Amino acid sequence: MSVRGVVPLHVVALGGNAICPPRGDLSLAIERTLVRDAVGELAVLAQRGVRLLIVHGNGP
């Protein structure tokens, strides 16, 4: 809990640089795998009651 009982909101930018490997293959299959892995981690947080706002990153 935070100030006055308000649960903090965590903003997560997912896309662009967040899912683009620094080097290597950037095929659709690889991108889907990276997103699936990231979303799996976010799901764990959500199941613990963490408030998430997931937005698209603005990277390349």
Residue 24 clears pLDDT 70, i.e. is over it: no
Domain residues for the domain of 8 are 3-55
Sole residue written with tokens 């935070």: 2
Please give the structure tokens belonging to residue 34. Answer: 């990276």
**pLDDT tens digit sequence for 45-58:** 999 999 999 998 76
**Structural domain count of the chain:** 1
Residue 60 counted as domain residue: no
Residue 10 counted as domain residue: yes
Residue 59 has a pLDDT of 63
| CA distance from start to end of the chain | 36
Residue 30 counted as domain residue: yes
